[in-house]
Chains A and B, each alone.
Chain A
Amino acid sequence: MKIVLEHLTKRFPNRNKKIKDEVVAVSDFNFTIPDGKLVGLLGPSGCGKSTALNLICGLEKPTEGRIYFEDLDVTGLEPEKRGVGLVFQNYALYPHLTVRENIRFPLENLRGEDKLTKEVMEEKVLEAAKLVQIDSLLDRKPNEMSGGQQQRVAIARALVKMPKVLLLDEPLSNLDARLRLQTREEIKRIQTETGITTVFVTHDQEEAMSISDIIVVMKDGVLQQMGKPQEIYDEPINLFVAKFLGTPQINVFEGSVRSEKVYIGESPVMDAKGVGDGDVYVAVRPEGFIVDENGPLACSFINREVMGRDTSVIATNEHFLGENIRAIIPSEEEVVPVDGCVRFSLKPHKVRLFDKIIEERIRTE
């Protein structure tokens, strides 16, 4: 099911009653979530991800704008009429009910002609439980299970009515690192198997990158960029997106462009065809550095961290913004600092330029 958002806006009265200004949690969203895709809604905490999700599922009503499921305008529909399944960060399993009763709960709500017999319910519960591989735990209570298992139950409960849209609000945040990886793969598998259009909210860029077909990056209620994970990583449209995606973070230098050449300080680091003169931010992905004794970028060497496959070179430079430069190089390469100084040249396709004032991407030809 395709989800279309048109000028979707949600404003809240400020929680702090002394402040008159409204909080714009979601500001003028215009985009389409294609049918059958897993979309990662990514942004820092408090940027309005949950609000956007609540608008799609109907728990919140938009201040302005419309939501369509395919051609159907669902803006005014109550959540239960929309055919969505919702999974919460804290699972929200009913603690007094067993796993079976929890999964069956949405089915028991069906009334009138949709009412199901006991047998059909049991069948559907079992089917959903098998899908998330918890069919052996059906008689347990939620508190007798691990966080990962509980989250699977929550997913089964969201899926048991076979919704057309599955919405997950930071479903992995309460799990430990290992379970998070496991459950994340599990969610991807379930989504692929069922082909349900899925929106997955997270503040963890790695999580979003690894499981999404499409990522939507937002900040302060405003959509920043939407696209395939690799696309967004390679071609961020502004400095915020560039910094938000990728670990270690992109390295940002203050620089300038003079006669179509990029300078960091007085060192020309690369060409910038078709770019006018002026101050810029030069952002270099960690894998964009080449250790080169004749390289233009001189940095004071601090440390090297060997991580098996790669080596991180930690260095600093007076034009660098932030703590330390982190360059990732293949571990075969030697790093020999001369007088505490290491020199780099840059891979141009791993370097992005941003306007110093509006922080938007400056494209080279």
Chain B
Amino acid sequence: MKKNLTAWLCLLPALAFLLVFMVYPLVDVFIYSFEEGYNFASQSYFGVGLYNYDYVLHDPYFIQALKNTFIIVIITVPLSTGIALFISLELSNIKLIRDFFQTVYFLPYVTNTLAVGLVFMILFKKTPYSDGLVNILIQFFGGTGVDFIDGPYWAKMFVMCFYTIWIVMPFKILILTSALASVNPMYYKAAKVDGTSSFRTFYKITLPMISPMVFYLVITGFIGAFKAYSDEVALFGTDLNAAGMNTIVGYVYDMLYGNSGGYPSYASAAALILFAIVFTITTINLMVSKKTVFYN
């Protein structure tokens, strides 16, 4: 008991910080989201209820943001994890140039998001002076160019997903190459002597052994993709609603500080909806992982 008390006392500063900077704002957001007709200037409101949620859920901008976010999540999380796994496997096969490639693939990670976004814009954007490198290439191979930054929705979404995958890839490759390197080679020797095909070796030995890391990447990938915002700004500028490329976090931001902002209640409601979604998905992830992930 006494030991416990000391432990709690030692934890007190950290707990206090948590309370002030994490729990209090959370509770505050929760309360805001139920206060109807909140007025920033007078800090007053009319009543308590679900009106804010009703408004947000019927706001076409929010629906668009929700749709965009889901598309980004569903496309980029599996694709980036899968491609990263593939690249890591190839990298761990070619031992000689592994170190070199690890640096190359890690470059985007240490490069600023906005800088990478600028490069993507130059690659994809149509301007009065140039069609952009990608379009020039498409036209060179006989296709018709398309404006990826200001053009049709699918083109913008394509660039968005491409960009998101590109940005998250280095971290995933780094994690996966080290996970692969940590698998004891004797398992592969044993498998080889037993005549295990390389696919089966991967599926039955490698994958289960690195499954905790894959799972970690999937769960953080989901959470990260649901919270996407800055990548969108980097590509399409700050007026994401006009571009039709807003995300939930972008919507929350706009509701607070955007041109049409000043509605903390709507922002809070949207934030809590996002929280509910992420919470549900993460819970499902955890449940699935109990069955599939192997912890030694």
Contact = CB atoms under 8 A, between A and B. Distances in A.
A121 to B, nearest CB: 14
B194 A80 contact: yes
A116 interface: no
Interface of A: 57-59, 79-81, 84-86, 88, 90, 92, 94-96, 105-106, 108-111, 143, 157, 161
B205 A106 contact: no
A65 to B, nearest CB: 21
A116 to B, nearest CB: 13
B190 interface: yes
Contact of A94 (B187, B192, B193): B187
B187 A105 contact: no
A109 B195 CA distance: 6
Contact of A80 (B186, B192, B204, B205): B192
Given A90-B186, A92-B186, A96-B209, A106 B195 contact: yes
B296 interface: yes
Given A80-B194, A106-B195, A109-B196, A92 B296 contact: no
A336 to B, nearest CB: 56
Contacts of B204: 94, 105
Contact of A86 (B184, B189, B197, B294): B189
A58 B195 CA distance: 11
Nearest to A89: B186
Question: Which of A79, A84, A90, A110 has its CB near the most chain B CB atoms (within 10 A)?
Answer: A79
Given A59-B192, A79-B192, A92 B197 contact: no
Contacts of B205: 94
A84 B196 CA distance: 14
B186 A59 contact: no
Interface string B165-190: 00000000000000000001011011
Given A88-B186, A90-B186, A95 B193 contact: no
B190 A86 contact: yes
Given A90-B186, A95-B296, A96-B294, A84 B193 contact: yes
Contacts, number: 56
Contacts of B197: 109, 111
Given A92-B187, A92-B189, 13 more contacts: A59-B189, A59-B193, A79-B193, A79-B195, A80-B196, A86-B190, A86-B193, A88-B186, A88-B190, A92-B184, A95-B296, A96-B294, A157-B194
Interface residues of B, number: 18
Q: Chain B binding site: helix, strand, loop or mixed by DSSP? A: helix
B135 to A, nearest CB: 48
B296 A80 contact: no
B99 to A, nearest CB: 14
A92 B190 contact: yes
Nearest to B207: A96
Contact of A95 (B190, B200, B294): B294
B262 interface: no
Nearest to A79: B193
B194 A109 contact: yes
Given A88-B186, A143-B296, A96 B193 contact: no
Nearest to A107: B194
A124 B224 CA distance: 49
Contacts of B186: 88, 90, 92
Contacts of A84: 193
Nearest to A154: B190
B78 interface: no
B37 interface: no
A156 to B, nearest CB: 13
B208 interface: yes
Contacts of B209: 95-96
A19 to B, nearest CB: 19
16 contacts: A59-B193, A80-B192, A80-B196, A85-B193, A88-B186, A88-B189, A92-B184, A95-B296, A96-B208, A96-B296, A106-B195, A109-B194, A109-B197, A110-B195, A111-B197, A157-B194
Contacts of A94: 187, 204-205, 208
Contacts of A86: 189-190, 193
A95 B294 CA distance: 9
A157 B191 CA distance: 11
Contacts of B192: 59, 79-80
Given A90-B186, A92-B187, A105 B296 contact: no
A273 B187 CA distance: 57
Contacts of A88: 186, 189-190
A109 B200 contact: yes
Contacts of A143: 296
